[in-house]
Chain A
Amino acid sequence: MADGSIGLWTVPLAVLGGAIRVSTPFLFVSLGECITERSGRINLGLEGTLVMGAMSAYGISYLTGSPWLGVLAAGITGALLGALHAGICSLPRVNDVAVGIALMLFGTGLAFYLGKPLIEPTAPRLPAIDFGWWSDIPQVRAALRVNVLFLIGVALAPILYWAFRTTRWGLLLRTAGESSDAARAMGHSVLLIRLRATMVGGFLAGIGGSFLSLFYPGSWNEGLSSGQGITAVALVIFARWDPLLCLWASLAFGGAAALGPALQSVGVTSGYHLFNAAPYILTLAIMIITCSPKRTLTGAPAELSITR
């Protein structure tokens, strides 16, 4: 054990490390989408937002030398894309699901276009906090190298849970999501509430993207995100629009996504691509188990088009 070879223990350790590392983008996108969907609108474009966030974070970090400015830029980019989504959706008779698909293609295309010159250079990455200092085993230390963004995300989940229930802002958001008529009767603009909710959602999704390019995997290329954004949107549905459940689901997903690389590192290479698809298969499986055609899902915002 002392020489660092820990045999098959590598797999659960890598899955644990993956649950911490890989889950962060899932966590941010799902929390962002949770806010948007609670206001009664669905933004399928977060896949594009994630990629745009990753690209702009990498670009700004490279140009300014500060990865934290990159994170901020990613958030702002995400908020702008969110504003675009909300703006188009506030036109009469425009379907929010279709706009989401359009922005998914637009965001991805724009990121590939603007990110072309960023594939070569290396940008400064985000620092990590070493929680594994007590261990001599390198794999344990590697698994416990935690990024600050992960901690922020973990803290954000209970804060959102609390905010949805008790703050004025949370109540307004939920009113818009449950009954737009009620919100209107109270004298609030539903469109404005949804605009803000979509922008905050986009901001968080953009930050999730910055984690991809600035920490793990930690580079910019066109294959950076393949479906993490859309998986996170699906994750919100089976987390029943509950931020705390989003946190647990994201951790489970991170672990599932780390399974392929972990098995590869101990020499199991045959099913590599299938194991890489584990998060998608898991999402589909959980959706099949938890959804039902008979009733609307508990906790679903009544105004949400996708659950009607």
Chain B
Amino acid sequence: MTSEAADSAEAVGTIAPTADLGFLRRHGGTIEYVLIPCAALAGALVVFGIFVMLFGKNPLDLYFYMYYGAFGTWFSWQNTLTRAAPLILTALCTALPAQLGMVIIGGEGALLIGALSATSAALLLQGMPPLVVQIAMVVAGVIGGGLWIMLAGALRQYRGVNETISSLLLVYIALAILNHLVEGMMRDPASLNKPSTREIGAVNMIGSIPGTDVHWGLVFGLIAAVAAYILIYHTVFGFAARVAGGNIRAAKIVGLGVSKLILTICFLAGGAAGLAGMVEVAAVQGRTNANLAAGYGFTGILVAFLARQNPLAIIPVAILLGGISASGGLLQRRLGLPDASVLVLQGIIFVFVLASDALYGRIGFLKGKS
């Protein structure tokens, strides 16, 4: 069918003005990058619909409640955007190293370490003006998370340790450190059932964007994503990173400092996830406890892959997946689906998105050949 379409486009091209064909030739690639992930997403939704149908639920109800719970009302929009904020930041943790050809999946660990560092900073600076405390929290969160992922990058560069495995192992180690500190040194004696640190204090919380219930973390995420986009696509540093990602030997031959690139990019990546941890503490939880390991780091990996590692594309994808997770509660209440159904859907989407990689360059009518 696709070759036929190409043929007919060719035939039309000789008679009609060729503007249409030229458009496809120029933008076929871009359209492909939008069309294929959308098709993968649609395919995943259909499969998930069949899956819940096997459990006796109506898939049309499912789609309705998913839409309603994610984007149906102003309330659900706010819920969605609140969840999208940490997802943008943790997705950057996978997308930035991906420019260098590295697969980092440890955003969850950097988020936890960032949260711990930010909380420590706030607790040390109690009594200082709120703005000072907040800036210190941002700095501490970024540095904590940044060093955590930089460790995985350094191990890869200097010891040849595979960064995918080491970054995932670091998630479990980060969780152990968090539990250790929260139940030991940093424990608030008043937190009996759920061991937590002391609260950072209401004055130090970063609060909501005026007129909404969406916290300022969303703005942090948007700024970080745009900054990452400019860094990767419009600076010499980003160009060097993409060269090194495409061909490491070529990069070495032209004299790029690959070690410096890897360490810097990994620091920025971890810093983004650490900032997500800071946001969760300073805007949602108000303290550090095991609630922070809510899986934002893992969903962030999916966001990055679905956005094809493009920092700008991460923003809409994060909002979409934030919406899916926001609708989880409604699916649970109205349809009686277990809370893990969001995880199943995310898994199916991930599988479809990766399988759709095989389609690039194969859709005849997008090639615009003459």
Contacts and interface: CB of A to CB of B under 8 A. Distances in A.
A94 B103 contact: no
Nearest to A238: B161
Interface stretch (A56-64, A126-134, A211-219, A270-278): A270-278
Interface stretch (A71-79, A142-150, A243-251, A287-295): A287-295
Contacts of A277: 172-173, 175-177
A222 B358 CA distance: 34
Interface hub of B160, B166, B357 (most chain A Cβ within 10 A): B160
B354 A102 contact: yes
Given A110-B347, A112-B340, A113-B343, A291 B161 contact: yes
Contacts of A292: 159-160
Nearest to A92: B358
B340 A113 contact: yes
Contact of A284 (B169, B345, B346, B350): B169
Contacts of A276: 176
Interface string A104-128: 0111111011001000000000000
A237 B162 contact: yes
A234 interface: yes
A274 B177 contact: yes
Given A112-B340, A113-B343, A44 B159 contact: no
Given A109-B346, A112-B338, A227 B162 contact: no
Nearest to A281: B173
A293 B340 contact: no
B74 interface: no
B170 interface: yes
A280 B355 contact: no
Interface in A198-256: 226-227, 230-231, 233-234, 237
A287 B151 CA distance: 13
A271 B176 CA distance: 10
Given A113-B340, A288-B161, A234 B346 contact: no
**B: contact size bracket:** 35 or more
Contacts of B357: 91, 93-95
B291 to A, nearest CB: 15
B48 to A, nearest CB: 11
Contact of A102 (B158, B160, B347, B360): B347
A101 B94 CA distance: 12
Contacts of B345: 109
Interface string B316-348: 000000000000000000000010111111111
A109 B324 CA distance: 14
Contacts of A288: 155, 159, 161
Interface in B70-92: none
Contacts of B176: 273-274, 276-277, 280
B354 A106 contact: no
Interface string B149-164: 0000001011111101
A156 interface: no
A292 B156 CA distance: 9
List of 4 A-B pairs having minimum Cβ-Cβ separation, nearest first: A106-B347, A109-B343, A277-B176, A112-B340
Interface of A: 44, 84, 88, 91-95, 97-99, 101-103, 105-110, 112-113, 116, 226-227, 230-231, 233-234, 237, 270-274, 276-277, 280-281, 283-284, 287-288, 291-294, 306-307
30 contacts: A44-B164, A91-B358, A93-B358, A94-B357, A95-B357, A98-B103, A101-B103, A101-B105, A101-B350, A102-B305, A105-B343, A105-B350, A106-B346, A109-B340, A109-B345, A110-B340, A110-B344, A113-B338, A116-B340, A226-B172, A227-B172, A234-B165, A237-B165, A270-B184, A271-B180, A281-B173, A284-B170, A284-B173, A291-B160, A293-B160
Given A88-B354, A98-B103, A284-B170, 20 more contacts: A84-B351, A97-B164, A98-B354, A99-B354, A101-B103, A101-B164, A102-B347, A102-B350, A105-B298, A106-B344, A106-B351, A109-B340, A109-B347, A110-B347, A227-B169, A230-B168, A274-B177, A277-B175, A291-B162, A293-B157
